[in-house]
Amino acid sequence: MMPTASRRLAKASLRHLGLALIGLVMVYPLIWLFFASFKTNTDLFGSLGLWPERFVWDSYAKGWQGTGQYTYTTFFLNTFLLVVPTVLFTVASSLIVGYGFARFSFPLRNVLFAVMVATLMLPQTVILIPRYLIFRNLGWLDSYWTFIVPAMLGCFPFFIFMMVQFIRGLPRELDESAVMDGCGPAGILFRILLPLTVPAIVSGTIFQFIWTWNDFFNQLVFISSVKKYTISLALRMTIDSTGGATDWNQVIAMGILSIVPTVLVFFLAQRYFVEGIATTGIKG
């Protein structure tokens, strides 16, 4: 009969083997995509094999040069200019608004909170035309202000709701102790609660970074100048400008480079991300 320690080792080995196989299945599309960036068009569409029949080594270099007067250096810089302020202001405004809902009593608080939560269900396409008209009248079209200013004003109810849930889970005794030590509302937020809300802040940062970085539709609507194009628009422009002679290995190569920042952000903040999701009650 197999000893208990051996049975546990066998079960653990099977469990890890199963998890490794599931992980490989989930990661396989990315692996295939990486090798596809070295294939010719004929090889790419003529075979499902992973290994290229003939390696094309210059797909990344040629793809980086783009198809017009701007290279992907410009498009990456544009993307960071749009995404970084949007993420920072989203987190800051959501924290302040969430602190207000979670800790203060004021007239119509419950009604305003209900309205804010209701907007979570509102499809973005419903408010697209009003947003476009407002930004046009303000003269903000074809600029990054159409993304940054709404982030400053707390226009993302998902993140506000997440902050409210997290702050409500923090003991009110912390606030009362801070008041006894002479802290005002701002001092309580920035000196007491802010260090404790790091998991929620990191979770919001990751979500907003990935969503804004990968956003195509809104950037297509509000940005029209090629010199202000972001990565997602540049990839589409590369396909359109080459017509039927698209070098798909170059498009795929730039697509792979475009996901590197989001992957790095996720893995660098993974520990806080899991904690933030678990403590805000957003997990499914």
Contact 91, 128 (CB under 8 A): no
Does the predicted model carry a pTM greater than 0.75? yes
Average pLDDT of the chain? 88
Report the SS3 class of residue 47.
Answer: coil
Dist. CA 78–CA 147, nearest whole Å: 13
pLDDT in tens, 9-32: 888 899 999 999 999 999 998 899
Q: What is the arithmetic mean of pLDDT over 103-117?
A: 92
Query: Is pLDDT at 233 greater than 60 in this prediction?
Result: yes
Query: Is pLDDT at 162 greater than 60 in this prediction?
Result: yes
Q: What is the arithmetic mean of pLDDT over 223-247?
A: 84
Contact 251, 239 (CB under 8 A): yes
